[in-house]
Amino acid sequence: MRRNLFPWCLPALLLTAAGFAGSAEVVLQEKVAALPFPHQGPFVRSADRAIWAMDARGAQVSRDEGRSWSRRALFDEARFESSGERALLRTREGVILYAFLNRRELDFRWDDARGPREGCRLPVYLSRSADDGVTWAAPVQLQDGWCGAVRQMIQLRSGRVVLVCQQAKAEPGRHVTTILFSDDLGQTWQSGETIDLGEAGNYRAKVAGLRASTHGGAIEGTVTERADGTLFMLLRVPHGCFYWTSSRDGSKWGAPIPAPLEASDSPGMFARLASGRLALVWNRYRDPAKRAGRRDQLSLAFSENDGLTWTPPQVIAVSVPAKGARESADWLSYPYIFEPEPGRLWVSTMQGSLSAVLREEDFLRPVERPLDGSGPRIIALGDSITRGARKGVEPGEAYVARLQAALREAGLVARVHNAGIGGERTDQALARLDSEIIAQRPDIVTVMYGTNDSWVDAGKTGSRLSERTYTENLREMVRRLRTAGARVVLMTPPMFAEENPRNGLGEDPNVRLAPFAAACRAVAAEAGVPLVDHFAGWQEARNRGERLQSLTTDGCHPNSAGHTDLASRLLPAILPSIRESSP
């Protein structure tokens, strides 16, 4: 019998409409328990230890850790009714801010070809309590027009409050992300830069594979502040992944680019935990190739490095559709995360009305019985070439994603996870090997470094790392991984193309990279591990008269065709290891 880790929670793994408000059954991973109340997030805790949740008419307040709740009126219910999309924040100064969409003013007027029509409205309002929930000021309007979603509000270390909103735009019909910020604890607000992908973010784009344009755009962002003070935001886009962007202060944002996180056309939610880790809850496609099951399974992952890399995602809840039910009846989406005490997480959803609790420590490592099935775990370790996603390269085009797709096509149930970090060298990889790679108990690890190790910076006379240090680092990586029980596949990096960036000495960087590739070959032979020699493959292509430039975005990083080439060389080399690792 499974021990109930949360004595006052519902221990059942399978819940139906009696447990949640949807018509589908919801299966929880065995280390997840159902909470005995239906309130969705967001939640905050006031100074008197009460937990606050919001609903359509006001607030629900619990003074016994969620066992019971009492209703609290916040505003005139004849004028205001909150939609399920909400943002809630308690500042360090004890001010509670509640942003919501007022359904009393909802007027949906939309043309799929053009966008919002005159009078299309769902405005954003803010309720504010300056005394930790004792009294509340009447709601004030922050944004007019059609918003559609308001997801998250955070306070920066500077004291600034940042609220992520969105707004409908026309010609073409799409949504854009709008950022509001306040420097006086929510009394007054300013508008930051609008994030607009234009036609590229619209559902009518070919890559989306969807027809309607109602929710096209870069929308429903989740945001966090990094250790260096910059803001990091993931945006929902209809391209099978998140897009990410960053800002120094919340007012101006960089151009969004693809993030190497597989995601369905649904929003995610960040939470900065007491441990310092970043948690992310979101939806992935059940079948990415067919774009099926976009909201019927909820995943969780953690980052130790402010979102540069993530633990392999684990499914914590699955919605099992009722026979003949419409797709939306299966949805388990629009998540919120709340940490009522260090290491204990409440996860709730607006769609599907999930209300569950889990322990952080139980999902930092792979669970024994994953809800989405078991199979060999493969981690790709490397630099920006492994990370893949960049301007001009969608995450699904990177060699790691192409490897995963090829394995699925072959009927092999293997999980491939991208752990590449741009600019990384072997010494930096060694520093995180135990905590970020070995801790995930991988069955197979692919390792590709050398491009950054061999590079000569401006003003320097030698490579960033010597060939000897590079060789020793590779040996140590192989030794540690094999000691931990993982099979290792070493890879040389591809050659630089003809129009490559010159190194700090003005040299063709291949002059420095070639000896590092040779060292990688030597370590593979010495250790008796498989080798995928991309450098030699690209060198042979050049000797045949092919231009390598056509395989790169900038003379260094592979483009879609280049990643296809890397994946085609990796697949046959890794198949024996996968078959040996399969249960």
Instruction: Report which DSSP code applies to 69.
Output: -
Return d(Cα 500, Cα 116) in angstroms, integer. Answer: 46
| Contact between 165 and 150 (Cβ < 8 Å) | yes
Q: Are 385 and 239 within one domain?
A: no
Higher-pLDDT residue of 576 and 69 is 69
Domain boundary residue, one of 244, 262, 280: 262
In this predicted structure, which of 32-36, 218-222, 319-323, 390-394 has the lowest mean pLDDT? 319-323
Q: Is 150 domain-assigned?
A: yes
pLDDT in tens, 363-384: 999 999 999 888 899 999 999 9
pLDDT score, position 2: 37
Percent of the chain with pLDDT strictly greater than 90: 79
Where residue 283 falls among pLDDT bands split at 50, 70, 90?
very high
- 41: in domain: no
Q: 3-state DSSP call for residue 258?
A: strand
What is the pLDDT, as a whole number, of residue 548?
Answer: 97
Domain assignment present for 47: no
pLDDT digits (tens, 9 = 90+) for 20-67: 444 578 999 999 999 999 899 999 999 999 999 999 999 999 999 999
Residues 296 and 233 placed together within one structural domain of the fold = no
**Model confidence pLDDT, tens digit, residues 456-475:** 999 999 999 999 999 999 99
Indicate whether 243 and 107 sit together in one domain: yes
The pLDDT of residue 17: 38
Kindly state the average pLDDT of the residues 162-188: 92
Are residues 414 and 315 both part of a single domain? no
Residue 40 counted as domain residue: no
Mean pLDDT of 61-88: 96
Q: How many domains does the chain have?
A: 3
Residue 306 included in any domain: yes
346 and 384 fall within a common domain: no
Determine the pLDDT at residue 171. 79
* Whether residue 524 sits in one domain with residue 427: yes
Q: What pLDDT, on the 0 to 100 scale, is given for residue 425?
A: 98
Cβ atoms < 10 Å from Cβ of 458: 8
60 falls within a domain: no
* pLDDT given for residue 8 in this prediction: 58
CATH of the domain at 552: 3.40.50.1110
- Measured CA to CA, the distance from residue 502 to residue 483 in angstroms comes to 39
Q: For residues 138 and 209, state if they share a domain.
A: yes
Picking from 116, 139, 305, 119, the residue whose alpha carbon sits closest to that of residue 227 is 305
In this structure, the chain runs to a length of: 583
Statement to judge: residues 430 and 467 lie in one domain: yes
By the 10 Å C-beta count (0-12 exposed, 13-18 middle, 19+ buried), 412 is classed as middle
**The pLDDT value given to residue 200:** 58
Q: If pLDDT is split at 50, 70 and 90, which confidence band does 19 have? A: very low
Tell me the average pLDDT of the chain. 91
pLDDT for res 14: 53
**pLDDT range class, residue 9, cuts 50, 70, 90:** low
Tell me which residue range forms the domain holding 365: 1-34+266-371
Decide if pLDDT at 199 tops 70.
no
pLDDT in tens, 293-335: 889 999 999 999 999 999 999 999 999 877 767 767 779 999 9
Q: According to the model, what pLDDT value does residue 547 have?
A: 97
Residues 160, 235, single domain; the answer is yes
pLDDT band at 422 (very low <50, low <70, confident <90, very high): very high
Q: In terms of domains, do 166 and 97 share one? A: yes
Per-residue confidence band for 115, with pLDDT thresholds at 50, 70 and 90 = confident
> Which pLDDT score, from 0 to 100, does residue 1 have?
29
Decide: 562 and 551 in contact? Cβ < 8 Å: yes
Give the CATH number, domain containing residue 227.
2.120.10.10
pLDDT tens, position by position, 157-170? 999 999 999 998 88
Give the pLDDT confidence score for residue 346 in this predicted structure: 98
Same structural domain for residues 247 and 287?
Answer: no
pLDDT value of position 239: 83
Question: According to the model, what pLDDT value does residue 21 have?
Answer: 45
pLDDT for the residue numbered 206: 53
CB proximity list for 154: less than 8 A, separation 6 or greater: 89, 161, 162, 223, 224, 225
Average pLDDT over residues 67-90: 96
What CA–CA distance (Å, rounded) separates 216 from 235?
12
Q: What pLDDT, on the 0 to 100 scale, is given for residue 359?
A: 98
* Confidence class for position 448, pLDDT limits 50, 70, 90: very high
Give yes or no for residue 234 having a pLDDT over 60: yes
Of 211, 240, 262, the one marking the end of a domain is 262
Average pLDDT for residues 229-249, to the nearest whole number?
93
Q: Per the domain annotation, does 534 fall within a domain?
A: yes
Assess whether 243 and 328 both reside in one domain. Answer: no
**Does 274 score more than 50 pLDDT?**
yes
> What are the structure tokens assigned to 3, written together?
């021990």
The structure's pTM equals 0.92
Residue finishing a domain among 371, 395, 419: 371
Helices 534-543, 510-527: crossing angle, 10 deg rounding: 130
The answer to whether residue 44 is domain-embedded is: no
